[in-house]
Structure formats: structure tokens, C-alpha cells
Amino acid sequence: MTEFATRAVHAGQEPDATTGAVIPPIHVTSTYVQDGVGAMRNGYEYSRGGNPTRDALQTLLADLDGGVAAYSFASGLAAEDALLRAYLEPGARVVMGNDVYGGTHRLVNRLHVPWGVELVVVDMSDVDRVRAALEGAPAKTVLWVETPTNPLMKIADIALLSEVGHAAGALVVVDNTFASPYLQQPLSLGADAVSYSTTKYLGGHSDVVGGAVVLRDEAFAEQVGFLQFGAGAIASPFDAFLTTRGIKTLPVRMERHSSNAQAVAEALVSAPGVERVYYPGLSDHPGHEVAAKQMRGFGGMLSVALTGGPEAAKRFVESTEVFTLAESLGGVESLIGYPSEMTHASVKGTELAVPENVVRLSVGIEDQGDLVADVLQALSR
């Protein structure tokens, strides 16, 4: 089993040893019988500490990213919190992009900064600024890289930033939610850890909230595992099952998301009322070359700025028929949103604010012609 699409279906998914069930069962149990005091079967004692359904998902995730271990959580933010708290201490520093996921900024700014962590926000596509932000870095420093970013689809060079981060002694983390492990492999590009909201492309069907981290270092992985057990924000067996089920079709879905998004982006470029299209698959996108180097495809997310300002943007998102007006992304169904008042409302007025004429599209796997026709008819309104 060497190729990604084969591993996505089989890694961690051995048929059940007792019944031969091809699909491993969902182990809905809180506790496990002991054959004598402390004599556990296969190490299972209590489901916060270990559950076979969650373990199957974790084995799969570690395999897909080429990590030594993965841990799955109740949400993407729970995963980020465990990863960061396993590493940080008062006096530590976090350097992150000025367009990271708003919840990531809020997590560090509102929960870790009061604990004594310093937060520095920079433009991650400007390496000199990243270097400056890392100057005099304390022993515990995290360089938090998200690429492509949300919603302006900026691209950061993972290999280059890993070098810059490591030169300053920092732990380099990549939030790989938008690309998924199918399109982008941060550990092989030099990063130390990968973080996911599995709510998005990994789950892929908008029916489960979850998160995961994948680690390359055994000792650090143990610390993150202790946070999962000790703080307890675990993925439930049913959520782990749904996520595993979603991942089996990840390669097929990502190919289709990418080709559909490319077609929608190209149709929007020449449409009336469009000021700018943000999609890394367009050859004039500022990050196109880096994206082409580090990604297998350009993904299903794009944004568009309209010449008609906030009014036109709001009318547009309320006029689509195939694209559903909703937050979140990465599911098989196409979604459309108005970031400045929806996903990014919490960062309004801060350096993370999104222009008010920008609309974000999560392009699904429906018929390409239907999707293109839908955005064009909505624009014409």
C-alpha cells in the first residue's frame, strides 16, 4: 500500500477480527472488561484514553500525512488548543498570519495570551516579516502557518517557512484544513505538525464537527496524546466513524472540488461586476507558482471581490440557487458566504478583517455546468 488513494481506503481499516466484518464496527462503549485487576485486553481501559474506532481514524490520519502519530478531537479548535498547550508555556511566543482562521486567532488571543503567551501577527507571504517576527524568539515559539488562507486564498511557502522557523528554533505547524492531506503534505515539506478541522474536507459531508493533529516527533506526540487524555476533548466513536468514512473518498472528492473550482474561477474572471477572483489555480494569482510547487491541485475554495461593494456582495450570496448560503466549507454541496458578516464577523475592525465586497465560495462536487450557470445568473441579478 503505497499510493495515497489506496491508503485512504485501507490504512487502519482491517476487517473486524471477531466477525470478519469488512467495515470495523463503531465501538460505542465507555469502558472495557478487565480479566483481573489491571489486566486489560489490548490496552483498552476507558474510552477517553482509548477507543478502537478513534484509534482506527488516528492510524489512518497518521498514515496519510506520514506522521508518527495522530490524535483526533471534538473540533478543529480543540485539536489546535491541545497541540498549542502541549508545547507552549508562559513567556512563549506564537507567530501567525494576519489572515488565519478567525477562531485560531481568537483561541490564542483570548485564551493563551492571558496565560502569558505573546502573539505576533504578520503577513506570512512576506518572509522578511516572518523572520523579523521570530527575532529574539523565546525557547518555546510556534510558527503557525495556514495555506491557502481563508478567505483571500493567500499562499505561504511551507518549505521556506519551515527553514526560517527552524533557524529560529520554532515549532512549525501547518493548518492544512483547506488543502487536505491529499493536496498538500506539510510534514514532507519540513513542518513539525499538521492541524486539521476534519469538519471540512476530511469529513467532507457537512455532517460532523471534528479536528485532528498529526505529528512527526515521537516525544512531542506523546505530550499531545497526554493533552488529549488529560483534557479530554476527544472525538466520539460515531464522529470518528463518520470522519473515517468520509476520508475513503477524499482523493476522488478533492479532484472534483479542484476541477469544479477552477471552472467557476475562470467563469468569474471575465464576468461583469467582478473586481477580482482569488483562486490559486489562476495563473495571475500571486501565489500560483508556490501553490503549483507544493500542492497536487488547487482545491475547492475561492473568493471573489465585486465592483458593486457590500450591497452587491450581499445580493450575490442571496441569489444563488445551487450554492447554499451557509458558514463552513469542504462538503460535497456547494456553499456560499459573506465573510465580513459571517465567518469573519469576530475579526471585524481588527487586522484580520475581510474586505466588505468579498464573497467566499466552497465549490462542491455537483455538475460543473450547473455551478457555473448558478454563479453567473446570481451575478446578473
Query: Which residues would be at the binding site for ligand PLP (CB under 6 A)?
Result: 75-77, 101, 103-104, 146, 150, 175, 177-178, 197, 199-200, 209, 211
Per the DSSP assignment, residues forming a β-bridge with 74 are: none
Q: Where are the alpha helices (DSSP H) in 41-156?
A: 52-65, 76-87, 102-106, 127-134
Least separation in angstroms between residue 79's CB and ligand PLP is 8
Cα 379 to Cα 374: distance, rounded to the nearest angstrom:
9
Q: Which is nearer to ligand PLP, 192 or 374 (CB)?
A: 192
Residues whose CB falls within 8 Å of the CB of residue 346, separated by 6 or more in sequence, listed in order: 102, 103, 106
Q: Which is nearer to ligand PLP, 82 or 379 (CB)?
A: 82
Q: Does the active-site annotation cover 154?
A: no
**N- to C-terminal Cα distance for the chain?**
51
With cell 444563488, the residue in question is 320
Q: Does the active-site annotation cover 200?
A: yes
Q: How far is CA 329 from CA 198, 231, 336, 343, 377, in A?
A: 11, 28, 9, 10, 22
Instruction: Cite the beta strand spans of 222-300 per DSSP E.
Output: 274-278
Q: Does the active-site annotation cover 101?
A: yes
Coil/strand/helix, residue 282? coil
DSSP 300-357: SEEEEEETTHHHHHHHHHTT-SSSEE-S---SSS-EEE-GGGTTTGGGTTSTTPPPTT
Least separation in angstroms between residue 151's CB and ligand PLP is 10
- One of 55, 81, 99, 175 is an active-site residue; which one? 175
- One of 7, 54, 200, 276 is an active-site residue; which one? 200
Q: Does the active-site annotation cover 175?
A: yes
Q: How far is CA 16 from CA 24, 47, 67, in A?
A: 5, 19, 25
Coil/strand/helix, residue 80? helix
Least separation in angstroms between residue 178's CB and ligand PLP is 6
Instruction: Answer for the pair 95, 142: CB distance below 8 angstroms, yes or no.
Output: yes
Least separation in angstroms between residue 6's CB and ligand PLP is 27
Cα 220 to Cα 187: distance, rounded to the nearest angstrom:
14
Q: Which is nearer to ligand PLP, 75 or 258 (CB)?
A: 75
- One of 32, 101, 201, 279 is an active-site residue; which one? 101
- Residues recognised as catalytic: 48, 101, 175, 200
